Amino acid sequence: MPERKAQPRTLRPGATVGVLGGGQLGRMMALSGSAMGYRFVALDPAPDAPCGQVSPQIVAAYDDIGAARELARRADVITYEFENVDAGVAALLAEESYVPQGSALLHTTQHRLREKAAIEAAGVPVAPYRKVASLADLKAAAAELGLPAVLKTVTGGYDGKGQAVLRWEDELEDAFRRLALERADSAASPQGAPAAGDAGSPGASEDAPLVLEKFVPFRCEISVIAARSPRGEVKSFPAAENIHVNNILHLSIVPARVPEAIQRKARELAEKLIAGLDAVGLLAVEMFVTEDGELFVNELAPRPHNSGHYTMDACATSQFEQHVRAVCNLPLGDTELLTPAVMVNVLGQHLEGAVGRCTSDDEDANRLGVISKLHIYGKTESKTGRKMGHINLLCKDTADALAWVEQTNLWRN
């Protein structure tokens, strides 16, 4: 049954925004929206979640129906800050409360095969792929697509988890068994369980736990954050060039170091996608850029995104303010880039050094003409590989900001 679209409402400052999820994205959304006069309340199972430190919080599991209804009672509009919240709960809230994003896009982006089909239906290219339900399927798909290729679980997985790069035929069986087991473990947990209605969804391919994607030789990865309001207004932010280390985003460079024509095309594709999907709020569109200048969409995220953090200090409107504007049906803000910028993630192993560097006189920054803006997320436990914050480096030339990152020696491990 098609999802019933909520009748658009315009919510002015003073209204309360309910957030499914209490992580750093919800925290930055609440901080930005609070400056506009909105109130926030988050639902998250962690008692001291980052968002709960700056706004009221309901401490409960994401699939707790009673807690979800309490969130609906206290909020005038509900959004989500990450896509692995329970889509069944989001669907219930869409029926009983005002969720302008609905649950359909959440349902789509929680499953890679559904996501790829939706991207193709919007007329936007993705890398060739095949669904994999058995080892025989994987061998046939590898023979058809060729190696190298990337095997991924259809649900779950982030920062490199739930995937394996396959270069040789003798790697297929081990990778299949490992990822099929990861998929089974994920599905057994409440958060990883299939969303309500999945089993009967046309083309859902629930029988295929994995997907094999042809490896696209690319010169770089870029992403574009697009926004759409219930009134149909669409705007996108400048494309960011993304560099990953150990499958975790390390740097976002803006403007992306690709020709302006490719930057424009990337923004056009992102705007075409968000309109074609009839989405509300933000949509992060990650893309590969080939040596020939072709663009292939890799993944979508229906929320604020790590690669959009540069907007907090470098754009006329941040991605977090834009998301609040979109779900509240306000006119979207100007997305002009005011200064070149480089965003660098601060992981657990970088935290102490990064805080020390940004809270003392920095001769390297002064010499290079770089302004550093530190953002710390308030997570209670620092771990190697865990995102604890980020630094936005404002500069006249991104090469200067990249030189600052290199000269600190903080990101060598």
**407 labelled as ligand-binding?**
no
**235 labelled as ligand-binding?**
no
**163 labelled as ligand-binding?**
yes
Residue 117: inside a domain, yes or no? no
Domain check: are 160 and 103 in the same one? Answer: no
Domain check: are 92 and 176 in the same one? Answer: no
**216 labelled as ligand-binding?**
yes
**152 labelled as ligand-binding?**
yes
16-30, 94-108, 189-203, 225-239, range with the lowest pLDDT: 189-203
**379 labelled as ligand-binding?**
no
**158 labelled as ligand-binding?**
yes
**294 labelled as ligand-binding?**
no
Residue 78: inside a domain, yes or no? yes
The DSSP secondary-structure symbol of 266 reads H
Residue range of the domain that includes 76: 16-109
Are the beta carbons of 390 and 309 closer than 8 angstroms?
yes
120's CB contacts (< 8 A; 6+ apart) are: 126
Residue 65: inside a domain, yes or no? yes
Are the beta carbons of 172 and 142 closer than 8 angstroms?
yes
Alpha carbons 284 and 271: distance in angstroms, whole number: 10
Are the beta carbons of 339 and 395 closer than 8 angstroms?
yes
Domain check: are 257 and 343 in the same one? Answer: yes
Q: Is 40 left (phi over 0), alpha (psi -120 to 50) or beta?
A: beta
Domain check: are 151 and 72 in the same one? Answer: no
**Which uninterrupted H or E stretch holds 19?**
strand 16-20
192 has a pLDDT exceeding 80: no
Q: Is 55 left (phi over 0), alpha (psi -120 to 50) or beta?
A: beta
Give the model's pLDDT for residue 196.
26
Domain check: are 297 and 171 in the same one? Answer: no
Domain check: are 38 and 154 in the same one? Answer: no
Domain check: are 381 and 310 in the same one? Answer: yes
pLDDT digits (tens, 9 = 90+) for 294-304: 999 999 999 99
**111 labelled as ligand-binding?**
no
pTM of the prediction?
0.91
* Torsion, Cα of 28, 34, 40, 43 (10° steps): 10
Work out how many domains the chain is built from and give that number.
3
**Which uninterrupted H or E stretch holds 178?**
helix 172-188
**33 labelled as ligand-binding?**
no
pLDDT digits (tens, 9 = 90+) for 91-129: 888 888 999 998 888 889 889 999 999 999 999 999 999
Residue 316: inside a domain, yes or no? yes
**285 labelled as ligand-binding?**
no
**298 labelled as ligand-binding?**
yes
Give the model's pLDDT for residue 187.
59
**76 labelled as ligand-binding?**
no
**244 labelled as ligand-binding?**
yes
Domain boundary pick from 76, 109, 142: 109
